[in-house]
Structure 1
Amino acid sequence: MIMKRTALLLLLAACFSMPVFAGDGPQPIKLISYNLRNSGARDGDNAWMKRRHATPQMIRQEAPDVFGVQEGLIDQLQYIDTECPQYARVGVGRDDGSEGGEIMAVYYLRDRFELVDSGTLWLSETPSEVSRGWDGACNRTMTWAELRDKASGKEFFYFNTHLDHRGKIAREESIKLIVNEIQRIAGPKGTAVLGGDFNTPVDSPIFKPLTKYMKSVRDKAPETDHKGTFNGFGSAPDTIVIDHLYYRGKLKCLTFSTLDGNYGAPFISDHYPIAMTFTL
């Protein structure tokens, strides 16, 4: 009898001391936003063909569940498609609504997510048409994807964009348009993440319409950094922060990080990727 009681006590002690596995709770989602620098730029030793291997290396090393790229031309995206076939892609070219010009592509893990809906809009006075807005130097777009986690059934929206590098009015008006479009697409209670290259420092007043509606991941994540995101292939000071992530809705933000590690090339791009992890 004493032996049975002892065995029972040992069994109970073992049960209470068992670790709680990550699978018992919400699984974190890792999302990366990355300006990969277009392959048409004359960058000498930093040209795309000399550093392209670093992009799939970064993806394999960081293992995002979702990622968005800015400045991607179709040859670059097809290379990523080949090297990282576990991801599906949405997004169209800014110059023709197909494959022409830079594509604000959204990639997501095929095995983890179901694509509910997606689309691309132009940052202009006519967002449903191929167009250039205000005083912008280029056509600019925002691609979005509504994703459902196959395991939990929970959904979120991811918006990926790139604001104009010259037009001040274009940047200001684009922010207003982005806020309106996220409200329209995701709805008043939708969970959403917005990321991209905003060509604008974090403390700029143009973000006021956005920060009234969404929160900065960099500021709110319990684990974070405030490193520079633009490196200019080593020619820029390490204090320029123009790539940002924002969120709203039923999302718990866990981490933010600037990915300035070694992925097999001196510089993966003239920007560093930025990453967040969160749960739904």
Structure 2
Amino acid sequence: MDITVMTFNLRFNNPGDGGNSWPFRKDGAAAIISWYRPTVAGTQEGLAGMLDDLQMRLPEYAWIGEGRKGGAESEYNAIFYRKDEVELVEWGQFWLSEQPTGPLEKGWGASHYRICTWALFQMRGSDRQFLHYNTHLDHSSQQARVKGSRFLLERLEAHRRRLELPALLTGDMNAEPGNPAIEFLRGRLEVDGVRSTLTDAYTAVGGEPGLSFHSFQGGDEGDPIDYVFASPDIRVTDVRIIRDRVNGLYPSDHYPVVARAVL
């Protein structure tokens, strides 16, 4: 079965962004999701009010998640999903730290609490199910990126083996392709005796994807830090970094990434 998956760092609502702050971008962010119609969309940096803004504009979607400080506090890694394409079976969240059950500490020298939100979905009209994990690795601590990616991969792999299901991983990894955290997730580097079986969409499709974080400046020269990964039982058929403007504005300081895949 064909699905479309998006990863989209929304950029938190920062008044210091002036004309690029959320009140000016919320219609554009919703428009991008509406235009590209992802079956599932992993988002990063959304605050509770921002997610409510998107929900109001996207009635065909629902979302799950909680803030990285618990409840509605701070940024979410919310997953949006099309209600007419998939049914939510179960969801959960854990922290990328030595205390995965709650926001008790910042793991491995991270500058912020870091989380992973996951969901188990079933395709409507089918018995096909899949897992979707969505995360946001730390921007300052390389140890947190590597240890965090290893920890979430262990969780993902154990989950999909237990349920015997395909799995997707989306996120702002704050790391370019040559970074050890990405090399690990791609299965090219072993960390503490663990090796990933995932493939990232860029590698699966080939070519040079270009920049994904642009600080509201646009352009495409550079490397991505936003990714879609898939387990071996998912075939990625296409991937695109979306560089559209809406009403003259970029919807975020990151470009969303859209991949198409076959379960």
In the superposition, the TM-score normalised over structure 2's length comes to 0.91
TM-superposed deviation, 1:238:
3.1
* Aligned residue number for residue 165 of structure 2: 190
Contact 1:54 1:265 in 2 (8 A): no
- The 10-residue stretch of structure 1 (77-86 or 188-197) with the greater mean CA deviation from structure 2: 188-197
Residues 46-88 of structure 1 show CA distances to partners (whole Å, capped at 9, x for unaligned) of 1111121101111121111111110000010000111101111
* Aligned residue number for residue 191 of structure 2: none
Aligned residues: 252
* Aligned residue number for residue 25 of structure 2: 51
Matches within 5 A, 1:260-275: 260-275=243-258
Alpha-carbon separation, structure 2, partners of 1:69 and 1:250? 24
TM-superposed deviation, 1:139:
0.4
* Aligned residue number for residue 190 of structure 2: none
Alpha-carbon separation, structure 1, partners of 2:183 and 2:208? 22
Alpha-carbon separation, structure 1, partners of 2:231 and 2:169? 9
- Structure 2 vs 1, CA of residues 128 and 41 (structure 1 numbering), >3 Å: closer, same or farther? farther
* Aligned residue number for residue 176 of structure 2: 201
Contact 2:199 2:232 in 1 (8 A): no
Moved over 6 A (4+): none
1:179 to 153, 159, 170: 153
* Aligned residue number for residue 114 of structure 1: 87
Matches within 5 A, 1:149-188: 149-187=123-161
TM-superposed deviation, 1:94:
0.5
Residues 90-138 of structure 1 show CA distances to partners (whole Å, capped at 9, x for unaligned) of 101101x211100000011112211111111101011111132111110
Alpha-carbon separation, structure 2, partners of 1:258 and 1:272? 6
* Aligned residue number for residue 12 of structure 2: 38
TM-superposed deviation, 1:218:
0.8
2:67 to 65, 81, 93: 93
Matched AA of 1:234: Q
* Aligned residue number for residue 10 of structure 1: none
Alpha-carbon separation, structure 2, partners of 1:235 and 1:263? 13
- The 10-residue stretch of structure 1 (33-42 or 229-238) with the greater mean CA deviation from structure 2: 229-238
| SS of residue in 1 equivalent to 2:229 | strand
TM-superposed deviation, 1:151:
1.9
* Aligned residue number for residue 214 of structure 1: 198
| SS of residue in 2 equivalent to 1:93 | coil
In the superposition, the TM-score normalised over structure 1's length comes to 0.85
* Aligned residue number for residue 120 of structure 2: 146
Percent identical: 28
Matches within 5 A, 1:75-90: 75-90=49-64
Matches within 5 A, 1:121-132: 121-131=94-104, 132=106
Matched AA of 2:26: R
Larger Rg: 1
Alpha-carbon separation, structure 1, partners of 2:108 and 2:50? 29
Alpha-carbon separation, structure 2, partners of 1:235 and 1:272? 9
Q: CA RMSD in A?
A: 1.7
Alpha-carbon separation, structure 1, partners of 2:27 and 2:215? 19
Q: Mind listing any 5+ residue stretches in structure 2 that lack a counterpart?
A: 188-196
